[in-house]
């Protein structure tokens, strides 16, 4: 008799964004004439930058001719893209990352979800609350938690991110091995200073722990004193893995391209206490389970680093940030406390009632989809997240409808 992985039975309902999509689809089915504006999932709405499209087309044309056709590429990604990343995203900011420390993939969701496979099932895991659910659910699937009780999985160390700590969690007061951090933060839009991030790097070094740093939203940073990469912090190369994505920075949610950085010094330990470098392990996993991102997509991603590509991505991001500013201004005018928007495409709003109740009210009365904060963890109860990823017109319309719904 085949037995299932029973850890899956501990998972709560379905994946948050699938759950929301189902509720919205049911609402649309019941109200076919209602126009719904989606400020829920952080999915981009603007077309790919023209520089990326041109590169994409050229690469597709290369695939149409035997002499320039390409079959399997390197699993880790083509050198042209890895070199552009190392130079523009890291070396230009004084972070010493080399091309061969970069692994191209089809998404930061997959990478942040898969990376935990490399670590022992006994690893003590610290996870922020509220949190992007992928970090949490993949550790549940892997059996690193107990049952779900009172809004939390047993066996995890939760790092509360609340108004009291300005949504930047404090160091844990019990030992942990694996630490998930995400800044600018999803879902709260909060940011971390270099000094605060250094305390985490120092903690990881002192405790032989590892930080999984999700920097998928770094392109939205406007305050130049903030770190774009954890490798801007001294000592981080030994204790941190970083995840980046073109989804939000260049509109690639449907195109799929991202990357993970694993410095050569970055290590964990075997049961005899010997240091084991993570780079070769991830390389082994990547080569076994992944055949690389398609050539045209990698060419399109490379174009992000051309002069035109940089300018076009900047314009895309500025457009979304202006939406975020509009959302923040409206929320303030409606007398809600909020954080985010300044350096992130999300606005995290204290909604003064149950998150799902507010979600239902907004959907029913305003035809606007938000993300209920409770879906991101216990500390998210009483909050909702609004995403700035939509057209200006839709954001303005949604805000007007929200004003009317709350009048
Ligand atoms: C979100 O809305 O939190 C993100 O779009 C989810 C994701 O990037 O997978």
**Domains: count for the chain:** 2
Nearest CA to ligand 1 atom 4: 42
Q: Ligand 1 centroid vs 74 CA: distance in angstroms?
A: 28
Are 145 and 202 in the same domain? Answer: yes
How far does the centroid of ligand 1 lie from the alpha carbon of residue 249, in Å?
A: 13
Best mutation site among 41, 107, 131, 375 for ligand 1 pocket (most ligand atoms within 8 Å of CB): 41
Q: Locate the DSSP E strands across 178-312.
A: 178-182, 210-214, 240-245, 258-261, 267-269, 275-277
385, 373 Cβ separation under 8 angstroms? yes
Distance CA 190, CA 141 (A): 28
From 307, 333, 359, give the residue that closes a domain: 307
Handedness of CA 189, 193, 198, 199 (dihedral sign): negative
**Dist. CA 68 → ligand 1 center (Å):** 36
Ligand 1 mean position to 41 CA, how many Å? Answer: 6
- For ligand 1, atom 9, which residue shows the shortest CA distance? 109
Ligand 1 centroid from CA 202, angstroms: 29
Any domain includes 238: yes
Q: Which domain, by its residues, includes 363?
A: 12-47+308-406
Same domain, 79 and 34: no
- Considering the domain architecture, whether residues 124 and 241 belong to the same structural domain is answered as yes
> Are residues 181 and 82 located together in one domain of the fold?
yes
Query: Within this chain, do residues 70 and 176 fall inside the same structural domain, yes or no?
Result: yes
CATH number of residue 357's parent domain: 3.90.1150.10
Q: What's the CATH number where 107 sits?
A: 3.40.640.10
CA–CA separation, 240 vs 231, rounded Å?
8
Judgement on whether residues 38 and 170 belong to the same structural domain of the protein: no
Decide: pTM greater than 0.85. yes
Tens of pLDDT along the chain (407 residues)? 999 999 999 998 777 888 899 999 999 999 999 999 999 999 999 999 999 999 999 999 999 999 999 999 999 999 999 999 999 999 999 999 999 999 999 999 999 999 999 999 999 999 999 999 999 999 999 999 999 999 899 999 999 999 999 999 999 999 999 999 999 999 999 999 999 999 999 999 999 999 999 999 999 999 999 999 999 999 999 999 999 999 999 999 999 999 999 999 999 999 999 999 999 999 999 999 999 999 999 999 999 999 999 999 999 999 999 999 999 999 999 999 999 999 999 999 999 999 999 999 999 999 999 999 999 999 999 999 999 999 999 999 999 999 999 99
Residue 231 to residue 102: CA distance in whole angstroms: 13
**CA dihedral sign, ordered 82, 87, 88, 90:** positive
Domain stop point among 282, 307, 332: 307
In a domain, residue 329? The reply is yes
Q: Identify the residues whose C-beta falls under 6 Å from ligand 1.
A: 41-43, 109, 132, 186
Same domain, 21 and 78: no
| Closest by CA position to 24, among listed 253, 367, 390 | 367
- Please check whether residue 4 lies inside any domain of the structure: no
Residue at 245 is within a domain: yes
Q: Which of 277, 307, 337 is the last residue of a domain?
A: 307
Q: What are the residues facing 102 on neighbouring strands? A: 261
């Amino acid at each position: 008799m085949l037995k299932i992985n029973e850890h899956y039975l501990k998972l709560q309902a379905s994946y948050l964004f699938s759950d929301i999509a189902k509720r919205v689809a049911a609402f649309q089915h019941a109200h076919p004439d209602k126009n719904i504006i989606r400020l829920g999932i952080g999915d981009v709405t603007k077309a790919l930058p023209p520089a990326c499209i041109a590169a994409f087309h050229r690469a597709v044309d290369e695939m149409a001719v035997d002499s320039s056709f390409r079959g399997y590429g390197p699993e880790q990604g083509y050198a042209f893209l890895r070199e552009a990343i190392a130079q523009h995203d890291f070396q230009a900011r004084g972070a010493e990352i080399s091309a061969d420390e970069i692994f191209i993939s089809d998404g930061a969701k997959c990478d942040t979800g898969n990376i935990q496979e490399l670590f022992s099932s006994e690893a003590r895991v610290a996870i922020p609350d509220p949190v992007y659910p992928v970090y949490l659910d993949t550790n549940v699937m892997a059996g690193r938690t107990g049952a779900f009780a009172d809004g939390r999985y047993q066996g995890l160390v939760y790092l509360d991110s609340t108004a009291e700590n300005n949504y930047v969690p404090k160091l844990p007061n019990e030992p942990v091995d694996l630490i998930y951090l995400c800044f600018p933060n999803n879902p709260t839009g909060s940011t971390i200073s270099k000094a605060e991030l250094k305390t985490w790097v120092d903690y990881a070094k002192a405790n032989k722990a590892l930080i999984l740093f999700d920097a998928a939203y770094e392109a939205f940073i406007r305050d130049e004193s903030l770190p774009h990469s954890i490798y801007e912090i001294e000592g981080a190369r030994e204790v941190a893995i970083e995840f980046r994505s073109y989804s939000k920075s260049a509109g690639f949610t449907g195109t799929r391209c991202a990357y993970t950085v694993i410095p050569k010094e970055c290590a964990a330990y075997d049961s005899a206490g010997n240091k084991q470098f993570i780079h070769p392990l991830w390389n082994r996993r990547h080569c076994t389970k992944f055949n690389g991102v398609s050539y045209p997509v990698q060419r399109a991603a490379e174009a992000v680093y051309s002069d035109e590509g940089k300018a076009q991505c900047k314009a895309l991001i500025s457009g979304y940030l202006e939406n975020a500013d509009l959302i923040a201004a409206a929320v303030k005018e409606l007398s809600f406390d909020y954080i985010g928007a300044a350096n992130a495409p999300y606005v995290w709003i204290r909604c003064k009632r149950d998150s799902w109740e507010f979600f239902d009210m907004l959907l029913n009365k305003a035809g606007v989809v938000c993300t209920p904060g409770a879906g991101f963890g216990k500390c998210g109860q009483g909050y909702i997240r609004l995403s700035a990823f939509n057209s200006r017109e839709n954001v303005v319309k949604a805000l007007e409808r929200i004003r009317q719904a709350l009048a």
